[in-house]
Each structure stands twice: as C-alpha cells, then as structure tokens.
Amino acid sequence: MSAINRPLGLGRGLAALIPQRSPQGGGSIEIPLERIRENPRQPRLRMDSDALATLAASIREHGVIQPILVTEVLDGYQLVAGERRVRAARLAGLERIPAVVRQLADREQLELALVENLQREDLDPLESARAYQQLIDEFGFTHEHLAERVGRARSTVANTLRLLQLHPGVQAAVAEGTITEGHGRAIGGLPIELQAKVLPTVVEQDLSVRQTEELVRRLREPRPIGATIAPRATDPELERVEEDLRRALGTKVRLARSRRGGRIVIEFYSDEELGRLYERLIGGHA
C-alpha cells in the first residue's frame, strides 16, 4: 500500500478524529458550494451575523484556509463539519470551497459534527449542553470520555449539562446572553417552579453570579416557624432612590423608612466587594 498523505490544512483536533485516508489518495479538493447540502444534525442553532460577515471578509482576502468536512451522497455532498465556513464562503461570493471528502456512516457523521463544533466553534452554552447530551445518549459517552474527546475538564462538561435541567425561560436567557452560564447554574439551585420567578430579579438588578448565589441561598433557607414578613408599601420615590444607589454602588441596596427616618442596607458578598464599596463611599482604601 502506498504511503498515506495527511490532508492539508486540518487542525490538530479534527485531524485526530478523522481517519487520514482519502479515496482520492490526496488531501482536500475543491467542490462546488451549490452541491453542498446542509447537515440536518448541525448542533449550532444560531450564528452571529456580524461574526459571519467578519469571516466572509477574511475569506475574500485570504480564501478558506481550513477545509470543510463532507461525505459524498447521490446528488452532491453532505456537510459534516464547517457550516460557518460554507455560509461565509457563499457570503463572500465564492463558487467553490476546499473540502475533505470522507465516506461516513450516519453515526460517524453525527459524532464528528458534534465533536468538531464543540472543539472549534463558539456554541452558546445551551447548544453545547444539547450536543454533550446527544453524544451521551446516542454514543454512550461517559462524562470522562466526553471531556477527553472535546478537550474540556470533566467538571466543565458536568456543569454545562446541568443547564438542561433549568426552567425553559432561564435556558432562553442563558442562550440569548441575558444572563451567564454561571447565573444559570446558580438559579438551578432552586426548585424549577421558583426559577422563573427569580430570573427577573437577577436581570433587573443586574446581580453578579456571587450575588445570585447568595439570593438563591437565602431563598432555600427555611424560615422559622411562625415568622412572617411584613409587606412593604410601594413607594415610587423610594424605589427610584434605591435604583440610583444600586447603580452607583454596583450592588443590592435596600431602603426602609421608620418613624424617625429609616435605614439604608448595602449588601456585599466578599471582602473584595466590601473594599470596593468602602473606597467608593469614603474615597480611600480600607
């Protein structure tokens, strides 16, 4: 058997996953973009239009540096990995694109597409979580095997998978970037029926992850038997002052009136945050 040539332009991650042999005996070839069919199992659900335009501009200037991965079908080619490059190449006005052609079974196509996207592209946290779960369900991956395959820590994989247990509204907020993955995991410490009720507070008060964790901790703490919380009278002016203080100090602030005036409660969640508040209020270091 003749020597096997490695395909040109492949990165280390994908090259390690693909058998380095081609029916043509070579590396990548140029194929017509019009003959490429999209991958129906593409884990990426959304693509940033600005990032796609930036990639298209780069392709116009430098061409497509990294080949896409396809498998041959009766009426052309089925895309396995590289959807962003295909879309950007079309946007750049190209007619052909470099590709590595492999004969792959359906299961191999799905595995390569998921792993390639998890390794190479910026999936949002929920897309990553769904891709992880699909690899576990359809290929029997353990967390350890999955973490090794995509080059992540096992704890990272486990934490991302926890997002799938969140309330749909919280999941949407994470996917849209309204809150971070860390916020989502913190909110996940609550029963699912309470998660959607806490979300507006986290967003409207712009709570940090640490503040969200503290809020969740307080909500989870059982109240003493017989304890009641007096309803707070709505005072638009008081709420406006609270909001101004919160924005100025960057933390949760609560005002409470009394017969002789009232009190201001400024919350902090670490020694570092206390030092920052001290400097903001006093104008010097503690």
How many angstroms separate the CA atoms of 239 and 255, rounded? 8
User: Contact, 92 vs 51, CB < 8 A?
Assistant: no
Q: Nearest Cα to 253, choosing from 272, 227, 280, 224?
A: 280
Determine phi and psi for 101, rounding to 5 degrees: -100, 125
| Structure tokens belonging to residue 209 | 């992850």
Q: Which of 45, 43, 48, 47 is nearest to 172 (CA)?
A: 45
Quick check: is 83 catalytic? yes
Of 126, 205, 214, 215, nearest in space to 173 by CA = 126
Crossing angle of the two packed helices 106-120 and 125-139, in degrees rounded to 10: 150
Separation in Å, CA 128 to CA 94, 134, 181, 241, 276: 30, 10, 11, 41, 35
**How far apart are the C-alpha atoms of 144 and 279, rounded to whole Å?**
45
Catalytic residue selected from 34, 38, 61, 83: 83
Q: Helix (H, G, I), strand (E, B), or coil: what is residue 255? A: strand
Q: Which residues are catalytic?
A: 83
